[in-house]
Structure 1
Amino acid sequence: MSDCKRVYRFGTDAQGTRVTEGDKSMNFVLGGKGANLAEMSRIGLPVPGGFTITCQTCVEYSGAGNVWPEGALDEIVAAEADLEARCGKKLGDASDPLLVSVRSGAPFSMPGMMDTVLNLGLNDDSVQGLIAQTQNPRFAWDSYRRFIQMFSNVVMGVDADLFENALTQARLVAGVRVDSELSAEDLQELVETFKGIFSENVDAALYPELEVADGKPVFPHDPELQLRLAIQAVFGSWMNERACIYRKQHGISDDLGTAVNVQAMAFGNKGETSATGVAFTRNPADGTKEFYGDFLVNAQGEDVVAGIRNTEPIADLKTTPGLESAGEELERVFLTLEDHYRDMCDIEFTIEQGKLWMLQTRVGKRTATAALRIAIEMVEEGLITREEAVSRIDPAQLDQLLHPQFDASKKYEALASGLNASPGAAVGEVVFSSDDAVARANEGHKVILVRWETNPDDLKGMVAAEGILTSHGGKTSHAAVIARGMGTPCVCGVERFHIDAAEKVVRIEGSERVLHEGDVISIDGTQGIVVDGAVDLASAELTGDLDTILSWADEIRLDETCGHANHVRVNADNPEDAELALEFGAEAIGLCRTEHMFLGDRKNIIQSFILSDDETVKQQALADLLKVQTEDFLAMFKTMSGRDVVVRLLDPPLHEFLDDPRELEVAITKKEAAGANEEELAALRTRLRRIDGMVESNPMLGLRGVRLSVVFSDLPLMQVRAVATAAARLIKEGVDPRPEIMVPLVSITAEHVQIREVIERVIAEVSDEEGVELNIPVGTMLELPRACMVADEIAHYADFFCFGTNDLTQTTFGFSRDDAEAKFIPLYMHKKILKDNPFETIDTAVLELVRMAVEKGRATNPDMHFGVCGEHGGDPKSIKGLFNVADVDYVSCSPYRVPLARLAAAQAKLEAKRSA
């Protein structure tokens, strides 16, 4: 038998003494929900008693093929008996039954992704005991029908629509509008109907524990069996599709498992003095310091998040008859929790006949806008420090703030309005199902997922959609919570939209307009409006709270009291990107890709150089390229005056500038058929032969990078002359240009040595010609494992190293990025061969190559500086490793990722200080 503890109690004993065995630090053991239930109980808040089965038990159970670890069931039985003793009630008792909830609780919050069962312990006997104890038959039968419905769906996999259809039919027969208007007799009949649905749709062969009558399984009467099956189902939900998708989306490991919380029920559906709700201590959408959330009178918790009934704002709780005292107590609890956790908290509560019970709390999910506002205000309130504020902001979440908004300069008329559930604006085609959203998005269409209300199974469609719209549900509904977490614009509760998903139409109350699948709409999740057709969108600006947080981040990352500063540069190839990057806070240009300057109407110039045999034509092409490149660098260096600009010499294979040979073959065939003259055809055939002659079996490992400069020596001469000439002219104008020249794809020290000699010769020539002293550093781009191995040799001849981690990843793994990402990396991640896509988050082996090269280079040349300009320079997780493990001086990324990189660089510095 294992010596590890598998079950932890929380709550009080029969005498009111706390018996809680955990606390908030134990989320990897008890899951977030269990750890926080224990913590709330520990600090004296009203929490119904219960026990938590650990995440490790889930991992062992799942890892053994859904077989219980030795001794685990005995611990659960003992915990169940202890809970019965503490509550003074027994599960299944015919006179005074104990009812419990069974809920999941992973180490990281995964709202709506896993499963819950409420009212467990009800059967044909105990429902009579519930009636006797409460003198409320309607409440008892409603609880029983809910339990059968949830248990059948969650535990046995019966289609939830079968029960919803039966419930709809019961309302029609009774002539009522909502469930709460059904009588006790209606609900008693519904219980029998639900039992029949269970028997007709559960395969008895899969559940040998079940009693069978007339060849069909009977809904389980034994509460011990109910509980065991429910716990197993919650464990199983850890690996359901929606949970796996959510974890992948949020970078949560599949290996953590989920805890299971078994807790005495508190009932919010015992009449008009009972209620249930979800609330936040501050507004999670915009950060306003206000109590925020929804509640429902005479309801259970699932009703709030499911959007079945439209909710009431939490601010009205204190003025609702019969709930005033509980509402005031809840506000005191809000303050207690926020002060205790020193953060905005997300809360679930139930009021049972005027008595407040706390069912859950956690640090609440919030939009990027809210995260910034809350962090800043908590610093101002003295709750946290600036360093803590910077640490709390998720760098990836900043992307939300760069989402477009409706262009305020343009006029538009709202078709309908709802709740501003998740900020940002989106334009797309209407789709009515998750599958259609995925299919249309895969075809390249931008879509808006339009639903009555989303549920956890819609996650893949929500991920694929540009925006989400629902006609029901509040700001704490499934759609709102998930959209905010993903940074996807969302408008909820658009009540004028009458959605017919089967017919794929939306009829709009008070309007003749009918929306069909494929029609384009625009939504603004900041304002909570819907517009017919496409609205022009405008990019957000770095102002206000974001600017404040980033200024704090800059102070931290540039602090040199604990190691060198963590600098952030940008990858930019034109003045427009450079200007944008400066607005976003970039300190310099870490990578200017000169090949991007050869595109567009200049492509024919480079083609003339590559394909012509006529030396006069080739020299004219070089002269033309020199002219346009000099103009480009004049503009770039002027924009970045006083800031470094790392110019990479031509890197890609030359065939990338040429026509597709297969397309050229087709063109020749068409011209032959059209009777083109032989001279024209001969010229085209010659062109095709030359292009075919340049084809390489593996061009990414072929004639590119420094090899181009060796084979086509005129190219680096031209490029260096353009850089040096632009710098010299600007110096004479009083501008402060700071170019640096980088040699790409070096693997042999002699490659760099020879090209550097050429570079320095050209710089000296231009310096003499222009009468200006030029000091242009020359460095190496390390993109190959061999280069990292001999970095100490290369460092004798280089002023800086910059790591191209895209190619370094390709050559370390032997993966072709374009092929691998499309063909097998997703499968590798699904099969857990790879934890992360190595082209998105730097691999440990690649990181070690960078670290080793930095160490070798610094040992040879202490004055060198080191940077990274691959895609990893904009990935928060990679950024922390690059600064704290590889010890680089800067990262460089695309303009829109600069704010994210600034924040991640500051967080890396804080991590380094904590570990120093």
Structure 2
Amino acid sequence: MQQAVDFKGFTRIRRVAAIAVNTHGGRAKCLQRLIRLDFPVPETVALSFDAVHRIADGQMTDVDTLLGIFGTKPLLSVRPSSEDPDWGGPGAMLNVGMNDARHAELTQSHGAEAADGLYLRFVQSYSVHVARLDPDMFEFDKDATTAAALKTALAAYMDETDEPFPQEPAVQLAEVLRSMARAWEGTTARLLRQAKGAPAEAGLGLVVQAMALGVGPGESGAGVMQLVDEVSGAPLIKGRYLRQAQGRDAMAAGAQTQVMFLTRDKRGSSLEADCPEIFAELVRISKLCRVKLREEMQIEFTIENGKLALIDAVRVQRSARAALHVAVDLARDNIIPKSEAVTRIAPRSLTELLHPQIDPRGSRSLITTGIAASPGGASGKAVFTSAAAQASAARGEPCILVRRETAPEDIRGMHSAAGVLTERGGMSSHAAVIARGIGVPCVVGASEISISMRGHAFTTARGVTIKEGEIITLDGTTGQVLAGEADMLAPALDDHFVELMDWADSFRDIGVRANADTPKDAATARNFSAEGIGLCRTEHMFFDGDRLTVMREMIFAKAPADRAEALSRLLPMQRADFIELFQIMQGLPVCIRLFDPPLHEFLPHDRAGLRELAEALDLPLSDVTRRVEYLSEFNPMLGMRGVRLGITIPEIYDMQARAIFEATIEASTQRGGEAVVPEIMVPLISAKREVELVKTRIDAVAAAVRNETGKQFTYRLGVMVETPRAALRAGDIAANAAFLSFGTNDLTQMTYGLSRDDAGRFMNTYVQQGVYPEDPFHVLDVEGVGELLAIGAERGRARHPGVTLSVCGEHGGNPESIAFCRAHGFDYVSCSPYRVPVARLAAAQLAIKSRES
């Protein structure tokens, strides 16, 4: 076995050569693995990161010695080898070493057309990418002969540089190496790869390889092969082969004239039929790569006069659904362990599997873009009001709800729509948060559109006008808005998905619940294997048409008796909802938050809405207007809401408590006597006394229900920690609470003094200028808000060691937030139903990482 020989920073790749990904890059290491498998890889030399950096600084390596490795008169390729292929790099240079003398020799051995093509390709690439000449000078009419184009290209080089095209292979190779090294270290390239997640000082290796020409006599050409579909992940033999070609020409757009199928196909010739032995060897190599490299690889190959050469192998680029299929199949075949299959899938990529997606293979008619706020794809007729969305849904016609921005009264329309598009807003706007919660694709902040609510249409900056009833498509994964109906891929919740999630659950060590406000949400959460409901926002149950009217009657009631009458009509509605929730969750914990929002959210604010309310309540319009104005607040999110409302108008919480307890008894009876233990959460606590007051009344309601029914039940009372004072005084509060659930949405608002509904207007600027590293409503602020969580958890546990700790805000589904919660001893996180799989997978990966460290 030949030992590695080091020539001033470059290494001849052999079985035992000192090649590593962090010193020579991924391509160099992969080629070494292919050589170790005895594949027909041409002679290859790797330059280290350090050598390339020195070349960029003007310290050229010993090019003569390097050339000597390849024998006399070699033709070479030079390819980049970065640590991560996704970081990019300069393009490959082929046919280095081509000159007049070599052209004459190849004309004799391979024919004039092949020789002219090889020389022309090198002159074009060298002129544009090394000499940095105008590319337009080296583009030729498709009707021009190759010989004429070559002659013109050599003349153009001479005219622009005042010197003939370089003939010395050593000069050519040195200039190619220098150009690629400097391109990597240039400012533009540095910024581009940093945007892809590369470190600022990421290194580049270079791979110099003997050319397998792919042109000339006999069977010659180039192609690629892989054993999996990159969109679906299904196993199949896929690729292309192009006769009389080099590199990845077979994959280039427009390369059609001599393209062959790999497998037998009625539509044309195939490599399998014409060259069965070569085809069989390619299949063998591909299968062995899968096993030995523990990955689905796309191999690049060249055939020269019937002889196969393996040029490279790269990881198959794949969609999220294909990545999941590949990881599970590799684990099923015992190629990788289950723990590795779990860690190979990016948690956030799961969101693409839970919703329909726009087929990436289809065409797109882009009309505008916005912020990708809720993943998935949806097509439907554009509608501009919630009423129109509900009417469309009633007709069985999918629609896209288009609004300047959504408000709580739009919830019914959002539930009815296939997707939501807003002109304003950011990742934490009302539309974004609700859409993610109910699993509806959503694009917000499409600031280039101009909506005419009166004309029921919107116009884009490109001059496209979409009227109500015209079909559009939203891509909530990319933020694109398309004209017309796009081809869709169905959600990928198949056996591969289920199996991966089962493996994840076997590793994770923190609970995952769901935020679910309706029976439909609860059913979705149950289907995604949530371990209970961590937050049921009861106010969302009041926005349905019949309930909203009764709710408004309660708000307008002037006397306690009138208020009690309205609440008595809401009671059976609430009770029925809770019974259904308990039934769906099948004994899993259900945490119900008592009424939280300010009352004005249930009231109309435009004249048409006020008139409609006046008619429903049989009141003068002036009375309704005055009452709405009276209930308005300067800062309603910091005003009469949450526990403050429960203490001021205690009948509301009394009604809800009674509904919960009566539902508990009914659900327990239906479960054959198996006890249901509800969790009641008091929102917006900031003082110990608030908990005491509410607890006293709820205990009284529980006693009354027990006396009336003769049935016994238990419940757990806890608080939602969403004010900074509650976090700081968590020790006092925990004395009367079975659990502390941190609501990071409001806690972030109050800690920063920011409105999450309005922050989207300037948050991008703040993040871009480094004021905040990330949008704190999207990614948990571990330094500020996180410190309050840590203080609250520590003080709460110190006073009440058995208290349950959780996070139930939007951050609960973020991998970064889950890592923080695990580190600080939280019992579970709760997130929207469609983020439950993301949280389960992220928690599993964190547990696996901690065990391995």
Asked whether the two chains share a fold, i.e. TM above 0.5, the reply is yes
What is the Cα deviation at residue 910 of structure 1? 1.9
Give the one of 27, 42, 51 matched to 2:46. Answer: 51
Q: Which residue identity is paired with 1:769?
A: E
1:752 paired residue number = 691
User: Superposition pairs for residues 711-726 of structure 1, below 5 Å?
Assistant: 711-726=648-663
2:70 paired residue number = 87
What is the Cα deviation at residue 355 of structure 1? 4.3
2:57 paired residue number = 73
2:836 paired residue number = 898
Aligned partners of 1:103 and 1:260 also within 8 Å? yes
User: Superposition pairs for residues 729-808 of structure 1, below 5 Å?
Assistant: 729-733=666-670, 734=672, 736-808=675-747
Q: Does 1:627 align with 2:572?
A: yes
1:139 paired residue number = 114
Q: What is the rounded CA distance, in whole Å, between the counterparts of 1:567 and 1:142 in structure 2?
A: 63
User: Superposition pairs for residues 468-487 of structure 1, below 5 Å?
Assistant: none
Aligned partners of 2:722 and 2:743 also within 8 Å? yes
What is the Cα deviation at residue 776 of structure 1? 0.8
1:840 paired residue number = 778
Q: What is the rounded CA distance, in whole Å, between the counterparts of 1:536 and 1:86 in structure 2?
A: 53
Q: What is the rounded CA distance, in whole Å, between the counterparts of 1:149 and 1:438 in structure 2?
A: 37
What is the Cα deviation at residue 796 of structure 1? 2.0
Q: Which residue identity is paired with 2:502?
A: S
The DSSP-based 3-state class of the residue aligned with 1:603 is helix
Q: Which runs of 5+ in 2 are unaligned?
A: 1-5, 265-269, 380-418, 420-440, 442-461, 463-468, 476-482, 614-618
Aligned partners of 1:238 and 1:257 also within 8 Å? no
Aligned partners of 1:741 and 1:776 also within 8 Å? yes
Q: Which residue identity is paired with 2:841?
A: L
Q: What is the rounded CA distance, in whole Å, between the counterparts of 1:834 and 1:895 in structure 2?
A: 28
Q: What is the rounded CA distance, in whole Å, between the counterparts of 2:178 and 2:55 in structure 1?
A: 14
What is the Cα deviation at residue 225 of structure 1? 3.9
Aligned partners of 1:848 and 1:886 also within 8 Å? no
Q: What is the rounded CA distance, in whole Å, between the counterparts of 1:859 and 1:835 in structure 2?
A: 32
**Structure 1 residues 399, 133: closer, same or farther in 2, change over 3 A?**
farther
The DSSP-based 3-state class of the residue aligned with 2:249 is helix
Q: Which residue identity is paired with 1:119?
A: L
The DSSP-based 3-state class of the residue aligned with 1:738 is coil
For these two proteins, the number of residue pairs brought into alignment is: 734
**Structure 1 residues 760, 902: closer, same or farther in 2, change over 3 A?**
same
RMSD: 4.5
What is the Cα deviation at residue 260 of structure 1? 4.3
User: Superposition pairs for residues 462-541 of structure 1, below 5 Å?
Assistant: 534=485, 540=491
1:105 paired residue number = 82
**Structure 1 residues 700, 569: closer, same or farther in 2, change over 3 A?**
same
Q: Deviations over 1:47-68 (max 9, x none)?
A: 54233453x899xxxxxxxxxx
What is the Cα deviation at residue 582 of structure 1? 1.6
User: Superposition pairs for residues 813-824 of structure 1, below 5 Å?
Assistant: 813-820=752-759, 822-824=760-762
**Structure 1 residues 811, 242: closer, same or farther in 2, change over 3 A?**
same
Give the one of 219, 228, 250 matched to 1:304. Answer: 250
**Structure 1 residues 836, 726: closer, same or farther in 2, change over 3 A?**
same
2:826 paired residue number = 888
Q: Which residue identity is paired with 2:745?
A: N
**Structure 1 residues 219, 394: closer, same or farther in 2, change over 3 A?**
same
1:230 paired residue number = 180
**Structure 1 residues 86, 827: closer, same or farther in 2, change over 3 A?**
farther
1:495 paired residue number = none
1:637 paired residue number = 582
Q: Deviations over 1:225-256 (max 9, x none)?
A: 444233323444874897677x3xxxx35646
**Structure 1 residues 656, 108: closer, same or farther in 2, change over 3 A?**
farther
Q: Which residue identity is paired with 2:501?
A: L
**Structure 1 residues 297, 242: closer, same or farther in 2, change over 3 A?**
farther
Q: Deviations over 1:5-45 (max 9, x none)?
A: 99953444xxxx6683322xx34x54433443344446654
**Structure 1 residues 761, 130: closer, same or farther in 2, change over 3 A?**
farther
What is the Cα deviation at residue 576 of structure 1? 1.7
Q: Which residue identity is paired with 2:756?
A: R
Q: Does 1:384 align with 2:336?
A: yes
Q: Deviations over 1:783-815 (max 9, x none)?
A: 234433333332222111222222333334444
Q: What is the rounded CA distance, in whole Å, between the counterparts of 1:107 and 1:577 in structure 2?
A: 40
The DSSP-based 3-state class of the residue aligned with 2:181 is helix
Q: Does 1:548 align with 2:548?
A: no
What is the Cα deviation at residue 536 of structure 1? 10
Q: Does 1:116 align with 2:91?
A: yes
Q: Which residue identity is paired with 2:842?
A: A
Q: What is the rounded CA distance, in whole Å, between the counterparts of 2:51 and 2:633 in structure 1?
A: 57
Q: What is the rounded CA distance, in whole Å, between the counterparts of 2:65 and 2:751 in structure 1?
A: 57
Aligned partners of 1:611 and 1:690 also within 8 Å? no
**Structure 1 residues 726, 421: closer, same or farther in 2, change over 3 A?**
closer
**Structure 1 residues 440, 769: closer, same or farther in 2, change over 3 A?**
closer
Q: Which residue identity is paired with 1:730?
A: A
Q: What is the rounded CA distance, in whole Å, between the counterparts of 2:712 and 2:177 in structure 1?
A: 82
1:20 paired residue number = 17
**Structure 1 residues 85, 545: closer, same or farther in 2, change over 3 A?**
same
Aligned partners of 2:378 and 2:474 also within 8 Å? no
What is the Cα deviation at residue 740 of structure 1? 0.4
Q: Which residue identity is paired with 1:139?
A: A
TM-score by length of 1: 0.70
Aligned partners of 1:804 and 1:869 also within 8 Å? yes
Q: Which residue identity is paired with 2:342?
A: V
2:599 paired residue number = 654
**Structure 1 residues 38, 685: closer, same or farther in 2, change over 3 A?**
same
Q: What is the rounded CA distance, in whole Å, between the counterparts of 1:755 and 1:57 in structure 2?
A: 71
Q: Deviations over 1:114-160 (max 9, x none)?
A: 54042374686576477468554433432344345445666788887
Q: What is the rounded CA distance, in whole Å, between the counterparts of 2:165 and 2:551 in structure 1?
A: 78
Q: Deviations over 1:650-696 (max 9, x none)?
A: 22233322223xx349989x99xxxxxxx9453254235324xx222
Q: Deviations over 1:614-672 (max 9, x none)?
A: 44433333333333222221222232231211001122233322223xx349989x99x
Q: Which residue identity is paired with 1:597?
A: M
**Structure 1 residues 380, 598: closer, same or farther in 2, change over 3 A?**
closer
**Structure 1 residues 624, 521: closer, same or farther in 2, change over 3 A?**
closer
Aligned partners of 1:30 and 1:107 also within 8 Å? no
Q: What is the rounded CA distance, in whole Å, between the counterparts of 1:232 and 1:120 in structure 2?
A: 21
The DSSP-based 3-state class of the residue aligned with 2:757 is helix
Give the one of 380, 384, 402 matched to 2:354. Answer: 402
What is the Cα deviation at residue 742 of structure 1? 0.9
Q: Does 1:191 align with 2:139?
A: no
Q: What is the rounded CA distance, in whole Å, between the counterparts of 1:155 and 1:579 in structure 2?
A: 61
1:499 paired residue number = none
Q: Does 1:865 align with 2:798?
A: no
**Structure 1 residues 343, 536: closer, same or farther in 2, change over 3 A?**
closer
TM-score by length of 2: 0.74
Give the one of 364, 369, 372 matched to 1:438. Answer: 369
Q: Does 1:606 align with 2:571?
A: no
Q: Which residue identity is paired with 1:781?
A: M
Give the one of 342, 349, 364 matched to 2:316. Answer: 364
What is the Cα deviation at residue 778 of structure 1? 0.8
Q: What is the rounded CA distance, in whole Å, between the counterparts of 2:338 and 2:120 in structure 1?
A: 51
Aligned partners of 1:275 and 1:295 also within 8 Å? yes
